[in-house]
Amino acid sequence: MTDSCCCPPEAGNAVCELPAQSFHRPPRATHTCPVCGERGKPVLGQTVKALLSVSLRAVQEVKYLFCKTQTCPVVYFSPDGEQTFTIEQVRERVYQKEPDGDDVFVCYCFRHTVGELRAASPESRRIIVDDINTGINAGQCACDLRNPQGSCCLGNVRGLIKRIEAPPAVMVK
């Protein structure tokens, strides 16, 4: 065995007899997704527990992060990047991963889908946004338990409406 331990040379690490696998490097908290490398957004433990479709025995006492990168299959990951939960391990389809999926919820609490917003008239879209606001003000939302991102959907709803109503300008020659 040529593995040496982490002791300094003066402590005799070259002749250390301890097997290498007995050493645990302290996990490095990077807060970046181990698959796409983007920074994650912290979510509450209850969000992960509410949204996972796998046994909650897998849930650790760590502060999980949410990966919003569209092309990345990871939804939640541990700060050290050692553990990931992917889209197949989450009960809901994730808006950030499928922002153009008609059946995907953009507002999880009040059940509004991407397709519904797309098909609605501009006035109906305003009514939906007003209704979401009314629900929020009435304390009826539960974004930490319903929305995979663990926070309010309103920014996503507004962003989606913007995307629907003002598609990227087409270059005209």
52 or 72: CB nearest Zn ion? 72
Instruction: Give the residue among 165, 156, 152, 87 at the shortest CA–CA distance from 120.
Output: 165
What is the rounded distance in angstroms from the CA atom of residue 136 to the CA atom of residue 138?
A: 5
Number of residues that bind Zn ion (CB under 5 A): 7
Helix (H, G, I), strand (E, B) or coil at 107: strand
List, in sequence order, every residue forming a beta bridge with 85; answer none if it has no partner.
Answer: 76
Cβ neighbours for 93, distance < 8 A, ≥ 6 positions apart? 87, 101, 103, 104, 105
| 43 binding Zn ion? (CB under 5 A) | no
| 75 binding Zn ion? (CB under 5 A) | no
Shortest CB 132 distance to Zn ion, Å = 27
| 89 binding Zn ion? (CB under 5 A) | no
72 vs 5, 57, 103, CA distance in Å?
36, 24, 19
What is the rounded distance in angstroms from the CA atom of residue 152 to the CA atom of residue 110?
A: 11
| 51 binding Zn ion? (CB under 5 A) | no
22 or 71: CB nearest Zn ion? 71
| 33 binding Zn ion? (CB under 5 A) | yes
Window of 30-38, 42-50, 116-124, 159-167 that interacts with Zn ion by CB under 5 A: 30-38
Locate 33 and state its tokens.
Answer: 């997704």
| 67 binding Zn ion? (CB under 5 A) | yes
4 or 96: CB nearest Zn ion? 96
Which residues bind to Zn ion, rule: CB under 5 A?
Answer: 33, 35-36, 67, 69, 72, 74
